[in-house]
Amino acid sequence: MNHKQACVYLVGAGPGDPDLLTVKAQRLLRQADVVVYDRLISPAILELIPPGTSRIYVGKAAGRHSMPQEVINELLLNLARKGHQVVRLKGGDPFVFGRGSEEARYLAHHGIHFEVVPGITSAAACSAYAGIPLSHRGLARSVRFVTGHCRADQPLELDWQGMADPQTTLVIYMGLANLAQIRQGLLDAGMAPDTPAAFVENGTTPRQRRILTTLAGLLRDQENHDVQAPALIIIGKVVDFAHELNWFVPADAAEERVHDAQQVG
């Protein structure tokens, strides 16, 4: 097989729950010769890869890159040139803060065929599993996805005034490292300190935690609850629905409830 017949599939794996994979993503995982995957791919999704399929880990954590993006690009190119069907498995959606467009451009520049398979982005999935609608008639007329992480640790340059719109729901990816700056920027832009806010840690997985707070309380509650990445930050009036729409019980929490009931009994 020559490299023109090979293909690199940029596949979104969603935020962690394997049931949220698309049908196409599951089919491609079964058919792939090689799966190149990120740090945030859950073990439950990795278990769907057939035995014998080559796996290559290229995960990156903030400040601790195990493989630079340029090297990942070159790896995908070389695998395709060898005639492999490659699944580049990325957390969430490849084109939402996933650097999928950088990889796609590199492959296109070198004449390699690729396809993009959308995944459920964390904003949609984690908010749903936390009981928080991103929009609601009369409360939130727009949603803004923001990355709280900067290239080369540069200061955040965000449209604070636009983000502080009380009719907008903010969903901040990778925001823990710059949480103090995000909080202060929104307060300085006039967002009310008591605006509802939430952290959703390990969203859609058995280890999901949901911490409800306010804009003013973000730093305090991150410290008090030791919130760790991966965690999504949601800010806006819609967070107030979290109690009423709380449908998802993580497995760990369910086990704790069963244990407590047995102790009482």
Length of the chain: 265
Residue positions annotated with a catalytic role: 38, 60
What number is the average pLDDT over the span 37-48?
A: 94
Interacting residues of 246 by C-beta distance below 8 A, sequence separation 6+: 130, 131, 210
- Same domain for 220 and 132? yes
- Same domain for 30 and 136? no
Residue 255 lies in a domain: no
**pLDDT at residue 150, as a whole number:** 74
**pLDDT at residue 64, as a whole number:** 57
Indicate which CATH number applies to the domain containing 191: 3.30.950.10
Which residues constitute the domain of residue 113?
A: 7-120
User: Could you read off the pLDDT of 181-196 as tens digits, one per residue?
Assistant: 999 999 999 999 999 9
pLDDT bracket for residue 256 (50, 70, 90)? very low
Domain end: 89, 120, 151, which one? 120
Q: Annotate 193-248 with three-state secondary structure.
A: CCCEEEEEECCCCCCCEEEEEECCCHHHHHHHHCCCCCEEEEECHHHHHHCCCCCC
What number is the average pLDDT over the span 33-45?
A: 95
Residue 257 lies in a domain: no
**pLDDT at residue 259, as a whole number:** 36
User: Could you read off the pLDDT of 133-165 as tens digits, one per residue?
Assistant: 999 999 999 999 999 987 666 778 899 999 999
Higher-pLDDT residue of 58 and 154 is 58
